[in-house]
Amino acid sequence: MIRIKKGESRMDNKTYEKSIELYEKFKSEQISSKKLDKAEKKSGFLGEIASEFKMIINMVRDTYSGKFKLSNSELAVFIGAIVYVLSPLDAIPDFIPVLGQMDDAAIVSLVLKKGAEAIKRYKEFQKKESKIDDSIH
């Protein structure tokens, strides 16, 4: 597991640019429930941002199920990050210990910043859902 804090990246500019290029390509991909499950299992390699990545996965799931609303552009941003993390063919291949996950963490950190408004809305949505669940039980 790597130790990357939110917003921290130790990649050189060339690697970072390659990561962004691949992320932009992956944003247009479709993602299945099976891939979301696989991404959730892989999230442990993201260190301190693993819980935020899992939240992104849950936000996409809730959007697909109709429980939560994301615009198409917001959804593309989050799907791009998930597909990037899943892809073995990213800027630094995942089979390279530590470094292979560093670019994944950098992209997720970038998406956490880029999607901050949607993430804030989703956290509010989760609070409301939690209150509804509590009142039912």
| pLDDT tops 70 at residue 130 | yes
* Per-residue pLDDT tens digits for 50-86: 999 999 999 999 999 999 999 988 998 899 899 889 8
- Cβ atoms of 61 and 42 within 8 Å: the answer is no
CA angle 29, 83, 92 (to 5 degrees): 125
Question: Environment class of residue 59 by beta-carbon count within 10 Å: exposed (0-12), middle (13-18) or buried (19+)?
Answer: buried
For 95, the token pair is: 């089979």
Is the whole model's pTM more than 0.85, yes or no? no
Tell me which amino acid residue 97 is.
P
